Structure 1
Amino acid sequence: MTSVDLVADLTTRAVHVGANVGLWPGLTIYRFTEPTEPEWQEIRGLSIGVVAQGRKAVIDKGRRYVYDQFNYLVINGDLQFQSEVLEASPGRPCLCLVLEVDPSTVRSISDKMPGQRRISTGALRELAETCVISTLDDEVLSSVLRFLRSLSTDVERRVLAPLYQRELVYRVLQREQFARMLHFAEQQAAGNPIRAALIYINAHLADPITVATMAAQVGLSPSAFTRTFREVTGSSPYQYVKDVRLNRARELVIDRRLGVSEIAHRVGYTSASHFIKEFRNRFGSTPRDYCNGTTNR
């Protein structure tokens, strides 16, 4: 199995330009026919990104992660980041996939791999990366293709796809990023207090959200919550909430169903003028101009 095989497979599955979903829970296949400017996105769960053709970049906290057909991306969940397509054309579209991975699957497989090198949580925190790039070798590529091909029939989707998805996780864990991927999975665990706080944030964007409120939700003192939140997400609680609100607002602006004042209220701003100012600072234009710009692309 080669990268040519992966291109052929994704070509048949990526029917539409942009995102193609519905083939498997947590799987999105993309087709882009031209380069794009950096756009803000949000990812909810630990995910693996693979490019079959073309080149993409993810930008998080000022750091740029570029990947193509020679490597793959592992990205932590509950993350606000920018994504851009660097190489794509109608004749040679950028073809890629993102597969969300259940953290419990990562942990259960890692428990059966006692010989793998683990590093301390403190050491991982010092690195503070939310994305990692690794070489896409033949074994990882083949496991991706086996998983995709098992989605072709209902029987194989039910019987083989879960097994091949586990194989892909195993192959990734075998590589040099074992400790970091396990760390990502632990951060995504249901019992993690910061994970609970992130769920609370997304469910209560229209409400006032303070550090004290979030800390009380997860049973921590405000100071302990702030310290732990920054260690897990790399952002302060205030900055993270602001990022989520503005990215949700961007989605609502593009949707075009609500006015600016209603969008501001939906994402927790009491002042429409303050919302417009922060939206412009983040995205480079007012909500109205941004909506018109996306419509005319």
Structure 2
Amino acid sequence: MKTSLDPYPEMASIIARFASADGELETAIDGFFIGRRSAPSPALNTTQWPCFALVVQGAKSLTLGTEVFEYGVGDCLVVSLDLPVVSFITQASIEVPHLGVAMAIDGERLKHLIGRIGMPASAGAADAMRGVAVNGATPELLDATLRMLRLLDRPHDIPAMAPLIEEEILYRLLTSPYGPRLLRIAQAESPGNRISKAIAWLRQNFTSALRVEDLARHVGMSVSSLHHHFSAVTAMTPMQYQKKLRLYEARRLMLVERLDVGTAGYRVGYQSPSQFSREYSRLFGRSPLRDVENLRDSLVVNLPHRDTDSIAPHPYPGVGAERP
């Protein structure tokens, strides 16, 4: 979607100046990222943290479970909680590179804003919804994002102005079609909030054996309710979520820390090397050894990275750790 006063050329110009080479860049504004890619990318398996992301030029694709989200210029993607996803750039070239911007969603700031503006609980009372959504960006959201980008040329204004614009962006998201899912995650004791707590526990304890009964007890839900709401939000079961966290981390350990297959599998919680190899091959399409060799040969490092238009346990699904 585009406004009558097209903001995209100015956005693209700012991003291209600050991201002069391919990659994702954490700007001088805390939790605010820009990215550039000059060619379509291979699929990236990563854990995406809560974020807002906007495509300024080009297009991307993100897969959650079996659902595929395609988004291009003017589309806004919101991830409301940490989710294992697969993402890749679908449209990019040297002449017209993919350009994007992303902002981490700070849960505490979101809760504070919701409390201050007094949004009714009924606004988020619908059935649980996916933790990922794509919609066209509103003119108001585009305007706030452009003003945030302009701050990169006025670094002395950042300490005073960036927090105000960040809050405005959060407000625009809350009052958009994304609002109900963000409310559902932020409101205490709501099913969405309990699923958020379950995900936080899984991320901290993914190497340990999982008993769904214990997880349900930890977040104050029945097993059936946990399964229902967890699947509604993440498009997978708690066991499937844990398995992806384990395999993504094992891949990183072999690729970056150069652990051998057996040690990497054991480090993430597998007691059986054969089970580890079998589940790894099922997810990535190759045995652990062949997959890592292929990645090294092609110089594709598949780490959790902050993805400008997708998601981050970094706001980019992938750069570094997992917080945009």
Question: Counterparts in 2 of 1:173-252, with a 5 A limit?
Answer: 173-186=174-187, 192-220=193-221, 222-252=223-253
Question: Counterparts in 2 of 1:75-94, with a 5 A limit?
Answer: 75-94=79-98
Offset, 1:102: 1.4
Tell whether the 8 Å contact from 1:77 to 1:188 is kept in structure 2 after alignment. no
Aligned amino acid, residue 72 of structure 1? C
Tell whether the 8 Å contact from 2:48 to 2:84 is kept in structure 1 after alignment. yes
Aligned amino acid, residue 124 of structure 1? D
The Cα offsets for residues 134-161 of structure 1, whole Å up to 9 and x where unpaired, read as 2223322121121122244553221110
1:23 equivalent to 2:5? Answer: no
CA-atom RMSD in angstroms = 2.8
The Cα offsets for residues 63-88 of structure 1, whole Å up to 9 and x where unpaired, read as 22111122211122111111111101
Offset, 1:175: 2.5
1:124 equivalent in structure 2 = 127
Moved more, 156-165 or 141-150: 141-150
Tell whether the 8 Å contact from 1:35 to 1:88 is kept in structure 2 after alignment. yes
Offset, 1:31: 1.4
1:287 equivalent to 2:279? Answer: no
Select the residue among 95, 98, 101 that pairs with 1:97. Answer: 101
- In structure 2, relative to structure 1, the CA distance for the partners of 1:215 and 1:116 (3 Å cut) is closer
Q: Distance in 1 between matches of 2:226 and 2:120?
A: 31
Matched residues, number: 292
- In structure 2, relative to structure 1, the CA distance for the partners of 1:114 and 1:214 (3 Å cut) is closer
2:310 equivalent in structure 1 = none
Q: Distance in 1 between matches of 2:293 and 2:73?
A: 34
- In structure 2, relative to structure 1, the CA distance for the partners of 1:172 and 1:200 (3 Å cut) is closer
The Cα offsets for residues 114-133 of structure 1, whole Å up to 9 and x where unpaired, read as 68895453x332xx322222
- In structure 2, relative to structure 1, the CA distance for the partners of 1:57 and 1:116 (3 Å cut) is farther
The Cα offsets for residues 227-269 of structure 1, whole Å up to 9 and x where unpaired, read as 4534543422111111211122222233142111111012111
The gaps in structure 2 that reach 5 residues or longer are 1-5, 299-324
- In structure 2, relative to structure 1, the CA distance for the partners of 1:192 and 1:89 (3 Å cut) is same
TM-score (norm: length of structure 1) = 0.86
2:311 equivalent in structure 1 = none
Q: Distance in 2 between matches of 1:188 and 1:140?
A: 29
Tell whether the 8 Å contact from 1:117 to 1:178 is kept in structure 2 after alignment. no
| SS of the residue 2:12 aligns to | helix
2:271 equivalent in structure 1 = 270
Q: Distance in 2 between matches of 1:18 and 1:195?
A: 29
Aligned amino acid, residue 199 of structure 2? L
Question: Counterparts in 2 of 1:113-192, with a 5 A limit?
Answer: 113=117, 118-119=122-123, 121=125, 123-125=126-128, 128-186=129-187, 192=193
Tell whether the 8 Å contact from 1:47 to 1:100 is kept in structure 2 after alignment. yes
1:69 equivalent in structure 2 = 73
Q: Distance in 2 between matches of 1:255 and 1:134?
A: 35
Aligned amino acid, residue 33 of structure 1? S
Q: Distance in 2 between matches of 1:76 and 1:263?
A: 30
Tell whether the 8 Å contact from 1:116 to 1:178 is kept in structure 2 after alignment. no
Q: Distance in 2 between matches of 1:93 and 1:160?
A: 29
Q: Distance in 2 between matches of 1:221 and 1:158?
A: 45
Q: Distance in 1 between matches of 2:73 and 2:256?
A: 33
Tell whether the 8 Å contact from 1:49 to 1:96 is kept in structure 2 after alignment. yes
Aligned amino acid, residue 91 of structure 2? E
Higher RCO (Cα < 8 Å, 6 or more apart): 2
- In structure 2, relative to structure 1, the CA distance for the partners of 1:152 and 1:184 (3 Å cut) is farther
Q: Distance in 1 between matches of 2:256 and 2:279?
A: 19
Q: Distance in 2 between matches of 1:271 and 1:115?
A: 50
| SS of the residue 2:127 aligns to | helix
Q: Distance in 2 between matches of 1:173 and 1:120?
A: 10
1:53 equivalent in structure 2 = 57
Q: Distance in 1 between matches of 2:237 and 2:188?
A: 16
Offset, 1:49: 0.9
Q: Distance in 1 between matches of 2:56 and 2:187?
A: 29
Q: Distance in 2 between matches of 1:138 and 1:196?
A: 34
1:106 equivalent to 2:110? Answer: yes
